[in-house]
Amino acid sequence: MPALFKNQKAQPSHSRLLLWDFDGTLGYREGGMWTASLFEVLQREEPGLEVDIEQLRPYMQRGLPWNEPERPHPHLSTPDAWWASVEPLFAEAYRGVGIPALRANELSRHFRGVYTHLERWRLFDDTLPTLRALAEQGWRQAILSNHVPELRGIVAHLSLDGLVERIFNSAETGYEKPHPRAFEIALQAFGPLEQVWMIGDNYQADVLGAQALGVPGILVRHAHPQAERFAEDLSQVMNLLPKP
């Protein structure tokens, strides 16, 4: 087991860290995520077009950075570069439902503003109470997320930045969970740690990704038959963590 977290016994607060996923764990986008945002652009920009949201869904099942976590992308180091890399996927979806290529390209450039609009992002009801309670118990907390470049602004808008010390975002680091480097970057930033836990709603990306480096994981919200530790909501996470 890596030396950074070789001992999982209770330790003083400065060496106890929780890594949190964001989407589906701490927060969510009201109205839906990628397919829903594609559809919202169409409703706003092409209100007379008869397209069902389900026609767009298959196009969002592949090609996004987290769909290929084995392929690092540190070269997409700016928000504009990151979005430019995924806009062709949106244009392909629009062409797939019959929109001419030039117009599809135009529509794809509207996606970013729709998806990242701050007023659409919400925290789950149990997020703030749980993070505050864990902070009182001495846990340090950080976010480790596969996300868009605007995650920091979303976190600040939701008043989470006062509860998490650091944000490690794949759009900035170039590594998507469960890639080992995504976790290593976070762990190395904190230095020697005696306890580290990963908490997220994706069994493969969050739990198995963390366990590959010797970090125990807690699956939340969405059960998986192979998950050793599962909490239906965040308030139950405290029952699965070692006591201080």
CATH tag for 3-26+124-240 (out of 3.40.50.1000, 3.40.50.1970, 2.60.40.420, 3.40.47.10) = 3.40.50.1000
What are 155-167's pLDDT values in tens digits?
A: 999 999 999 999 9
Using pLDDT thresholds of 50, 70 and 90, give the confidence band for residue 51. very high
Orientation of helix 34-45 relative to helix 101-108, angle to 10°: 120
| Other CB atoms within 10 Å distance of the CB of residue 147 | 23
Task: Report the pLDDT value the prediction gives residue 15, as an integer from 0 to 100.
Answer: 87
Helix H or strand E encompassing 152: helix 151-157
Spatial neighbors of 42 by CB under 8 A, at least 6 apart, are 49, 51, 94, 107
Beta strand ranges found along 30-157 (DSSP E): 121-123, 140-145
If one compares 16 and 9, the residue with the highest pLDDT of the two is 16
Looking at residue 1, its pLDDT comes to: 39
Q: Work out the average pLDDT over 185-211.
A: 96
Could you give the percent of the chain with pLDDT greater than 90? 90
**Quick one: average pLDDT of 199-207?**
98
Whether 8 shows a pLDDT value over 80: the answer reads: no
Contacts of 143 (CB under 8 A, 6+ apart): 19, 20, 21, 22, 26, 151, 155, 160, 164, 166, 167, 168, 169
Give the residue-averaged pLDDT of 224-234.
97
Is residue 3 predicted with pLDDT exceeding 60? no
For 57-72, the pLDDT digits (tens) are 999 999 999 999 999 9
Q: How confident is the model at residue 77 (pLDDT cuts 50, 70, 90)?
A: confident
Q: What is the pTM of this model?
A: 0.92
Signed CA dihedral, 130, 131, 134, 136: sign only: negative
The residue behind tokens 């993070």 is 131
Q: Where are the domains of the chain?
A: 3-26+124-240, 34-119
pLDDT band at 198 (very low <50, low <70, confident <90, very high): very high
DSSP state of 18: E
The predicted pLDDT at position 121 comes to: 98
Give the per-residue pLDDT at 216: 97
In terms of pLDDT, which residue wins out, 21 or 2? 21
Q: What mean pLDDT comes out for the span 216-240? A: 97
Residue 243 confidence class, pLDDT cut points 50, 70, 90: confident
| First vs last C-alpha separation in the chain | 22
Whether residue 4 has pLDDT greater than 70: no
pLDDT digits (tens, 9 = 90+) for 86-139: 999 999 999 999 999 999 999 999 999 999 999 999 999 999 999 999 999 999
Average pLDDT over residues 179-189: 97
